[in-house]
Amino acid sequence: MIDIHTHVLPGLDDGPQTIDESLAMLRQAAQAGTTDIAATPHLNNDYSPDADLIEERIQELQAACGPSPRLHYGCDWHLTFENVTALLDQPRRYTLNHGRYLLVELPHWVAPEGLTPVLERLLSVGITPVITHPERHAILRARIDLLQCWVRLGCALQLTAQSLFGHFGRVAKRASWELLSRGLVAAIASDAHDLERRPPDLSQAWRAVESRYGREWAELWMITNPGRMLRDADLSQPAARPRRRWWF
């Protein structure tokens, strides 16, 4: 599996603070079947790691952990005024492997319609916003029409794996399955921060998706599309929506 959203780098944000903690998270991910991990520290008003520092930490951690899992560059980019201004200057500084895909966490205090022109602006400079965990956003999860409109404009949606099981509440759980069943989701990621509460483990999500919709959908959301994001390739757009198997 390929995980495009994790906080595994030591000392850059609210993820692990030491390299030993980071290494334990990588081992856990590898044991769960993850081959590739994007290290995506927060970039917001609390944390502002520079792109060069992220690259440096990735190299150090990869050297310490060995070849598996493979680490990739990324950032959990929060949509703030400062971040947008900096991005327009250097659009691919914080994107996944410096390609077109940028993890974008939307603010919780803005009327969501007001975000459409900002997302359009990002698209206009060649960025594909990957909107992180809309199911955990109290306003957005009630506005599936708007999420649908953003996907049509060219944005992608990423769910947090643990939302599927109620870790972020019943409403988030319902919204995640709803977004999946409508075919709006491009990828499922762990958004891991530690070993226990928010671990880098996609295996439970894989099993749940596989048993509900079939293996091809687990593959699409946890291998194919995340892999394409890391390679800066076009996403796979299935012709039909996932359908629950008859026993569901």
Could you give the dihedral angle defined by the CA atoms of residues 123, 111, 114 and 143, in that order, rounded to the nearest 10 degrees?
50
CB 134 within 8 A of CB 157: yes
Choose between 193 and 228: whose C-beta lies nearer to Fe ion: 193
Contacts with Fe ion: how many residues (CB under 5 A)? Answer: 2
* Site stretch for Fe ion (CB under 5 A), options 13-21, 76-84, 122-130, 171-179: 76-84
Give yes or no for residue 3 binding Fe ion (CB under 5 A). no
**Contacts with Fe ion, 33-72, as mask; x by CB under 5 A:** ----------------------------------------
**Contacts with Fe ion, 158-187, as mask; x by CB under 5 A:** ------------------------------
Q: How many CA atoms lie within 13 A of 16 on its CB side?
A: 24
- Minimum distance from residue 133 beta carbon to Fe ion (Å): 8
Give yes or no for residue 135 binding Fe ion (CB under 5 A). no
CB 139 within 8 A of CB 112: yes
Using DSSP, state whether 209 is helix, strand or coil: helix
**Which is nearest to 80 in space by CA: 44, 110, 51?**
44
Choose between 4 and 151: whose C-beta lies nearer to Fe ion: 4
**What whole-number distance in Å separates Cα of residue 23 and Cα of residue 201?**
14
Chain residues binding Fe ion by CB under 5 A are 76, 191
